[in-house]
Structure 1
Amino acid sequence: MEEQKKDLPDLSGIRFAQGEVYFHNKDYEAAIFKWDNIQNEWQPWAKKNMADAYFELGHLSTAEETYKSIETEDRTLQTEVALQLFSLYIRQKDTAAASQVIKETVAGNPDYENVTALARSFFEEHQDWASAIELAWDEAIRLESVKWYEALTGYAVKGVTQIKEPAFFEEGLFVLAKVDSELFEKLAAALWNNFKKSEAHLEWVMVMDRVIVRISPENIGNWNTLSGLYEESYLRLINGTYLISEVGEMIPSLLSNWMKICVSSHALAAAAAVISWNEMFPRTLNVATVYEAENKLLELEKQTDGYEEAVRLSNEVLHWAAKNELHVTKSLTWIMNSIKNQESYKLLVVGTDESGKSTCINSMVGYPILPEDNKALVLLDYDENPGIREIADSEIIEVERIEEQPSFRYQRSYHAKLDSSFLKKHRISLMDTPSINDSNEVLSCLHAADGVLFVLNANNPFTEKEQQVLQQIREKMPNIDVHFLLNKMDAVYDERDQTIVETKTKVKKNIPNAGVFAFSPHYEENSQGSDFGKFFAAHYMQKNIIIRRTTNLLYFIRRLIVYLLNKRIEKENSLVDSIKWNEEMLSKLNGAIHQIGDTESEKVQVMSRGYQSIKENMKAELLQKIPQILRGCSEYIKEDSDFGHLHLELNEEMNKRVEKYLTETALPEYYNYIQNWIGDCTAEFNDVQFSINEMCDSFNSLYDEEKLQLDCDFKVLDDWRRDADRLTTAIHWEKMNILLRFTPSQFLLKSAGKLLGSISQNKSMLYNKYKQYVETEDYHEVAVLIVNKFLQPFELFEKSIERDIKMFFRNPLAILNQTVEESRLEIASNKDELSKMRENPEYYQDPLTFFELKLRQNEWLDQKDSKIPV
């Protein structure tokens, strides 16, 4: 009222305040009315308040329209309007619009009170992790805020950060390293765990390398977890999955950064990795990094025995070999598995032929398991379920006993499981080898043993030969425990003490701490077994068994890798040889097919011609014989014959005589002809089968197996015999009109007979005429009809001869054609495999190179405790 009294009243401020009062008292319509008439600088705020009132009234579309109509440069008002729109969209459940407006609000005024907290809560509630991560990351970098980095760490631990590319986190991590070293490790480790199982693993490692390079030494903390992750990733990169071309350039940087941040628990592994890589790939690492690694390797104490790493590496190599279908000899895998078996101490027993070591072992275990002069490598273990298995090159075979005679093709190996109380009580496995007189097998088995028991003959202990072998053992395995068993003490009973003393003196010159155990297989077994158990416990250092087995396992892993490298060459050569051999076999097989095909054609021609000759001869004979039979029927004509019906009687007689001849003479004769022909065919077929058998034996000899069985189908002959019996048993004769056909001569005779036959003086004339006619008539046409009818079934038989002969040859030809197809497929497959091997040799070579790298790393670590011959 007071303002209206002025000349130029301004009611906007008062109306704005009135609108506020109405709004807070929930009279939203009155508030809108008051705010709608404001024209000064308060107008944008009034619009915003009006929209708030519409919002409270539930007029959401009007509120949204009003909010969007506000034009202002005031950041606070802009933010307030945006937050109200944000609330409106949430109420409308329009998540996409709400997300968009809150993102724009944070981007425009991130310092506005609670706006980022509100955004974070919204993103987390709707599990919009991409937006939540982007918000937290931007705020963390902008504010260098520990709170926001902790939020990111939570996201990483939850496992949702892998939706972002690794490069997204690079700059923020560098900033965090300067802000909080401990939190940097937590976040980096959490992100690493997110990416290490994804396809982005390599990219992540490169991102971390770039970050670590930029971090100054004073910002590097005690990052034990990161050191472990660097080691884990390095080992993963060289586990045979990747090619050198894929990871070769990034590994030097990885190793350098690992050395830069590693803590004491990982420093030795990092140093060994650097030195091993430098050996395999010279000049790819910084000289300073290599120098630092060498110093660490000399200074640091070894933290672990490395046994588990060696087992893991051996399993990786064997798995890779199996995956690539590379055959690894059973003997090699068997020895490696025996090393991994920690249930018993592996004691290698060595000695000369004269030492009696095999008899000594039999006496100890309580079984005559070993031949007196054992020529094989035999491992004797305790097992409740006894049995003997021969370890062949490609298989493990259950056998009844250990063979006395050696194989000339390979060194035989056996694994004998015995229910022996001695082996069980002392937890010992005994390993016997051929005598040191016969072979150097002892030296090749050293790396499979935990200790050596050297058996001496009490009659002549520690000979020059035995001393030479002992020296070789000490050179090859300087740290292995070697002690002695003085056998056959019963033979020197009177000089027992002196022999023991002299032997100990000789032995201790070579091994000062060596023990000597006196033994005789003829003494009481239980007592000696118990005494040897005490000797074993006192002299063999079982506490170092894991360290020694690590060395042994690494030795055989190296042998395995070398074997697989050679196997690659062997496989390529084998494929080349296989292709060449199969191509030669293909040529031979095709030659055999053509040869059998030619034989088939020849037999079809010969046998068909033979049968045709029989048929033609028979036909000629029938054509000659049937007219004679018909003419011979003239004797049936008598002067007193009934000439009125004689033509009928004669026709009947002719049919009877022809039928009788065909049945009683022609068919048996034809049967004999066919049987003779079948006999000739049988001989021909037998010759063919003999020839094919020789061919088959030749092929099987080349295949070195009973691959082909080229049996012809002799059932064809049985079918022919059955058909011959069926065709020649009887004929189906249908009477023919031999004299009843309409010919001039026959017509006159039949007519004369009917007219004149009753007159006696005419019978003589008719008799002569009939007889003359029958005897002089040309029966060729009739004979042809009879013969054709008779031979018709035999002609059907003739037509089947070619088909039947082909059936005889069908099986050999089918098998040969199938073998040809198999050879072609094998040639194509081998050529394809050979082509791939030659095109991409790195797919084979690189994994083995990395396996060798890991092996070398393990060897460097193992050298802290033992010497490894390389």
Structure 2
Amino acid sequence: MIEEKLLMEKSFYETFLIENESTLHPIEVLGAAFVEEQQNEPYDLTYIRYAQGEVYFHSKDYEAAIYKWESILNELEPWAKKNIADSYYALGMLSAAEDVYTGISTESTVLTMEISLQLFHLYIERNKLKSAYRIIEKAVNTDPDYPLVAQLAKSFYEEQQDWKNAVELAVNESIRTSEQEWFRALLEYAEMGYAATFTPNYYYDVLITVYEEDRQLFRDLVQSLWESYGEVSATHIEWMSTVNTIFEYVEVEPGERWEDISSQFQYAYLHFLEKGYLVKEIEGIMPDLLTNWLKISKQEQPLLASSAVMAWNDVFSYSIDPMVVEEAESLLLQGEYPAFKMEETILLLNKIIEWSERNEAPVSYKSKWIAEQLLDTSQQYLVVAGSESSGKSSFVQSVLGESVGEAEHSTVVYRYHRSQAEVMEVHDRGAEKVESIADFEELMEREAFVEYKLPSEFLQKNGSALIDVQANSRGLKDLTSFYPAADGLLYVLNADSPFNAEDRQTLRTLTEIGQPVNVHFLLNKMDKIDHAGRSEEIIDSVRAKAREWFPDAEVLPYSSLEAVHLQQRDVETFLKKHYLLNPGVLKAERRVKLFYLVRKTLKDLFAQRKNQELGLKDSIEKNKDILVRLNGFHNYLGDMQNDKTTVIKESFHKKKEEIKKEISKKIPEILSGCSELITEESDFRQIHTELNEAMNSRIQTYIQEDLMPRYMVILENWLQSSRQELQDGQDYLNEMSTTFNELFGKDRVVLECDFRVVDDWRRDVSRMGTRAQIEKENILLKFKPGQFLLKSAGKLFGGIPQNKNLLYNQYKRYLENEDYSETTASVVNKFFVQFDLFEKSLDQDVKSFFAEPFNQLDLTIKETEAEIAAEEETLKKMKEQPERYFDPITLFEVELLHAEYMMKAGFKSTRASY
């Protein structure tokens, strides 16, 4: 069998050369062999021709070489074709070369690899990159150990900036060869940031391989990969899961440096706590993360990891192996660690405050203010509290040496200021300077507390600030806020009635807080005790009762009637003995108080969300109930409007009809009564005109002087009764407004009717009264048969005396018996036309009267419906993902515990100096 190396190097022809012929040219040797072989029977010239082709190729006679190789049909045929393709390649006939290369079929791995390498270079030269990718991948997969194949692929991928394939090649070759060259190539790619193309678990096998071969390189590679995946939150958890699995096999040997990896564990730990992950997303990886972190850091700086293990296990009990927890605890107890900085806790509190504001559950600014005061160890804070009868505020002002107002409704923090007094109002949103001290009393009524800076010798000398809190129902909330953060509490008792019900309730509340505070008592108003023996007895009794509440409590007697300067020395001595602490102890206690403040803030946030949900539920139920009532009242208001309209209209109509009946009856009487105006001496030629004038005059007189004054009185009474009807409606609406506002808890419903309607009615009635005069009626000047005959007879016979008696009787009989219904109807219609129009407008007028209440009611209904919908949507979101709110609080607690464990470890190392 021919050695493939000779074929690969095109040196098969050398097998025909013999030592004694080494001076002859290979062509001569092969020519002689060709002639000699022809003498054989049968002869085979294939191998000689193949060798001749090699010699021609090396001589760059490519056409002759091709000619020789084209005749090869034996086992050398695939190699001959490959050599023909090489010749075409050398001649620059790349397309022909490609056709020949791709047409070769062989089972020889070496030949396959050689063809693949040639095709790879050919494809690159022809810029057929897809084909180049395909052939180099095939070559690597066929025989990655073949010389230069992997290196060629690496260079090609790098030239193409195909970092995905480059990384994949480096990973596969690292696992396959365990060679440093590939480890370092992978590290380089990771450092360049190209490794994150793959999912983290892709690197599991290669990392294990690197760890087993080169631990330093393992640490470098883990560090680089961590930095790549740590930038992308979406893959961080998966990467951490991979790291945890890998580090189960990692053993830390003495002298190894793991600081960079430890820092990455710390970064990951804080990242998962602070970047909005849900507990369910990280609780599966955190125990292993902490366990591995502790393992690699315990030889160097185990404080952070040990504290983290303890904190996580406190919140998520039994999630970490008990042996790991025990080891962490031991490291904290045995190690020497630096003192914990309170500023770190302030940063945590600020972070909590920022989070609470983003989640619409803001922490009160007071908590931040208190935290800032705890950082200031240059002065101590003494809370002075007492019931309303204790004389607490008078005591405070006596030791301050200045009357600064009574803190009966608000808490006041008195601090030293070397020049003029300054007042700051501290409320939920922040702090604002109060320009005028005269506004101090007004501040006492607000839901805030006051920071009062003044040039007090007492405050300066004792390096203290006094927090004056009234222990009443309102002040108790402030007291429970300031109490845990105070360096001491001086509780003021009234010597005349110490430990009254208010005192006991306050002290019971303080003991239930569970945070130790240095508490002592001041027994005020001792001047009310009649003799010294009795005073000592009361002091002893008060001290005994005080120690039932606080075992170490002492009692200072005080009298507002004695000289202030003498008693002030007693107060200063008492404070220095029982309250003032050396800086080391003060700082240590402040740390504890600060942690309490943060923990209380977290509890308040947790409770606040629960209260928000309950508040929303109550508000929704309340608003739905109110909405039902509003809709019911809306219907009732419509009925009331209709009722008022009916009553007012019917009343007006009734009075109008009564007057109409009177007119209808009176007009015929007036007209008939005009017969008395006729005498036998009358001029019957003009009598009908005179009578017509007289009739109209009498009608006008009746309407203006008799009827209208009485009708105006009637209408005035109607106006008053109508106004009262409307006022009754308004009164009822006022009652309902009050009822609804009480239900809403604020002034939201205002149902004011428009009483200008009544004024308009009064004006219209007055105007109609001045228009009582109506147009004249044609009573006797019509073309009726009877009137026509009378008027004709009067004109014909009126001048004849003997006919006047006849005419007199005829006219008189006519006037007395005439039917005046038509005239009466005309008078009535003319008189009542404006009143009829007025009556018709009453419907719209009453509607106008109630228009604004309807508008307000409609608006309130819409607002209530919108409020219900908004609250239901908010509640729905709260219930859909409650963990979005509660999980960050839980993780804040882990951070707080972590800091506490660090603080305790540092305190252990420095407490000897305290």
Q: For residue 52 of structure 1, what is the aligned residue in structure 2?
A: 89
Aligned residue runs from structure 1 range 479-494, under 5 A? none
- Aligned equivalents of 2:674, 2:894: Cα separation in 1: 111
Deviations 1:221-268 (A, max 9, x none): 422122222223223334483444333333222222222222445412
Of 786, 790, 798 in structure 1, the residue corresponding to residue 839 of structure 2 is: 798
Report the AA paired with residue 561 of structure 1: L
- Aligned equivalents of 1:142, 1:751: Cα separation in 2: 147
Report the AA paired with residue 640 of structure 2: T
Deviations 1:145-174 (A, max 9, x none): 334333333443444433322221222222
Question: Quick check: 394-403 or 560-569, which moved more?
Answer: 394-403
- Aligned equivalents of 1:52, 1:420: Cα separation in 2: 102
Matched, 1:183 2:217: yes
Aligned residue runs from structure 1 range 299-318, under 5 A? 299-303=334-338, 305-318=340-353
- Aligned equivalents of 1:254, 1:791: Cα separation in 2: 99
Q: For residue 862 of structure 1, what is the aligned residue in structure 2?
A: 903
Aligned residue runs from structure 1 range 397-546, under 5 A? 400=437, 413-417=449-453, 430-433=465-468, 448=485, 542=583
Q: For residue 246 of structure 1, what is the aligned residue in structure 2?
A: 281
Aligned residue runs from structure 1 range 121-520, under 5 A? 121-196=155-230, 197-218=232-253, 221-239=256-274, 241-264=276-299, 266-303=301-338, 305-340=340-375, 345-349=378-382, 358=396, 362=400, 376=411, 378=413, 380=415, 387-391=422-426, 400=437, 413-417=449-453, 430-433=465-468, 448=485
Deviations 1:278-307 (A, max 9, x none): 333333322321222122112211145153
Deviations 1:698-757 (A, max 9, x none): 444454543332221112223323433454544897777666766554566677778888
Segments of 5+ residues of structure 1 without an aligned counterpart are: 457-467, 483-509, 511-519
- Aligned equivalents of 1:837, 1:432: Cα separation in 2: 39
Q: For residue 529 of structure 2, what is the aligned residue in structure 1?
A: none
Deviations 1:576-620 (A, max 9, x none): 544454455445545654554443232112111111113212322
- Aligned equivalents of 2:81, 2:776: Cα separation in 1: 131
Alpha-carbon offset, residue 809 of structure 1: 2.3
Alpha-carbon offset, residue 360 of structure 1: 8.5
- Asked if structure 1 preserves the Cα contact closer than 8 Å seen for 2:211 and 2:218, the reply is yes
| Percent of residue pairs identical | 34
Alpha-carbon offset, residue 350 of structure 1: 7.0
Q: For residue 710 of structure 1, what is the aligned residue in structure 2?
A: 751
Report the AA paired with residue 273 of structure 1: A
TM-score with structure 2 setting the length: 0.71
Q: For residue 726 of structure 2, what is the aligned residue in structure 1?
A: 685
Alpha-carbon offset, residue 329 of structure 1: 4.0
Report the AA paired with residue 142 of structure 2: G
Report the AA paired with residue 415 of structure 1: E
Alpha-carbon offset, residue 208 of structure 1: 0.8
- Asked if structure 1 preserves the Cα contact closer than 8 Å seen for 2:349 and 2:368, the reply is no
- Aligned equivalents of 2:120, 2:763: Cα separation in 1: 101
Q: For residue 507 of structure 1, what is the aligned residue in structure 2?
A: none
Find the structure with the greater CA-based Rg. 2
- Asked if structure 2 preserves the Cα contact closer than 8 Å seen for 1:278 and 1:284, the reply is yes
- Asked if structure 1 preserves the Cα contact closer than 8 Å seen for 2:415 and 2:465, the reply is yes
Q: For residue 494 of structure 1, what is the aligned residue in structure 2?
A: none
Alpha-carbon spacing, 1:100–1:42, altered in 2? closer, same or farther (3 Å): closer
Alpha-carbon spacing, 1:186–1:797, altered in 2? closer, same or farther (3 Å): farther
Of 656, 665, 684 in structure 2, the residue corresponding to residue 624 of structure 1 is: 665
- Aligned equivalents of 1:137, 1:431: Cα separation in 2: 69
- Asked if structure 2 preserves the Cα contact closer than 8 Å seen for 1:349 and 1:357, the reply is no
Secondary structure of 1:708's match? coil
- Aligned equivalents of 1:862, 1:382: Cα separation in 2: 33
Deviations 1:344-363 (A, max 9, x none): 62323478989998468747
Report the AA paired with residue 185 of structure 2: A
Alpha-carbon offset, residue 568 of structure 1: 4.4
Report the AA paired with residue 48 of structure 1: A
Report the AA paired with residue 201 of structure 2: A
Report the AA paired with residue 187 of structure 2: T
Deviations 1:123-150 (A, max 9, x none): 4454433333222222222222334333
- Aligned equivalents of 2:128, 2:789: Cα separation in 1: 124
Question: Quick check: 124-133 or 734-743, which moved more?
Answer: 734-743
Alpha-carbon spacing, 1:108–1:369, altered in 2? closer, same or farther (3 Å): farther
Report the AA paired with residue 205 of structure 1: M
- Asked if structure 2 preserves the Cα contact closer than 8 Å seen for 1:240 and 1:847, the reply is no
- Asked if structure 2 preserves the Cα contact closer than 8 Å seen for 1:240 and 1:850, the reply is no
Alpha-carbon offset, residue 14 of structure 1: 4.2
Q: For residue 720 of structure 1, what is the aligned residue in structure 2?
A: 761
Matched, 1:615 2:648: no
- Asked if structure 2 preserves the Cα contact closer than 8 Å seen for 1:223 and 1:262, the reply is yes
Alpha-carbon spacing, 1:63–1:791, altered in 2? closer, same or farther (3 Å): farther
- Asked if structure 1 preserves the Cα contact closer than 8 Å seen for 2:85 and 2:98, the reply is no
- Aligned equivalents of 1:247, 1:393: Cα separation in 2: 35
Report the AA paired with residue 354 of structure 2: H
- Aligned equivalents of 1:384, 1:204: Cα separation in 2: 61
Q: For residue 853 of structure 2, what is the aligned residue in structure 1?
A: 812
Deviations 1:89-120 (A, max 9, x none): 55666655544444334333434454444444
- Aligned equivalents of 1:102, 1:762: Cα separation in 2: 153
Alpha-carbon offset, residue 211 of structure 1: 0.8
Alpha-carbon spacing, 1:658–1:442, altered in 2? closer, same or farther (3 Å): closer
Question: Quick check: 735-744 or 615-624, which moved more?
Answer: 735-744
Number of equivalent positions: 792
Q: For residue 593 of structure 2, what is the aligned residue in structure 1?
A: 552
- Aligned equivalents of 2:767, 2:121: Cα separation in 1: 105
Question: Quick check: 40-49 or 427-436, which moved more?
Answer: 427-436
Secondary structure of 2:340's match? coil
Segments of 5+ residues of structure 2 without an aligned counterpart are: 1-26, 39-43, 386-390, 493-506, 521-551, 553-562
Alpha-carbon offset, residue 398 of structure 1: 5.5
- Aligned equivalents of 2:701, 2:275: Cα separation in 1: 93
Secondary structure of 2:750's match? coil
- Asked if structure 1 preserves the Cα contact closer than 8 Å seen for 2:339 and 2:907, the reply is no
- Asked if structure 2 preserves the Cα contact closer than 8 Å seen for 1:83 and 1:102, the reply is yes
Alpha-carbon spacing, 1:787–1:331, altered in 2? closer, same or farther (3 Å): same
Secondary structure of 1:214's match? coil
Alpha-carbon spacing, 1:389–1:308, altered in 2? closer, same or farther (3 Å): closer
Q: For residue 103 of structure 1, what is the aligned residue in structure 2?
A: 137
Secondary structure of 1:200's match? helix
Report the AA paired with residue 316 of structure 1: K
Deviations 1:341-389 (A, max 9, x none): x5x62323478989998468747xxx86687999945152669996323
- Asked if structure 1 preserves the Cα contact closer than 8 Å seen for 2:366 and 2:428, the reply is yes
Q: For residue 676 of structure 1, what is the aligned residue in structure 2?
A: 717
Alpha-carbon RMSD: 5.4
- Aligned equivalents of 1:675, 1:814: Cα separation in 2: 31
- Aligned equivalents of 2:286, 2:466: Cα separation in 1: 43
Deviations 1:462-500 (A, max 9, x none): xxxxxx9xxx9xx9779x9x9xxxxxxxxxxxxxxxxxx
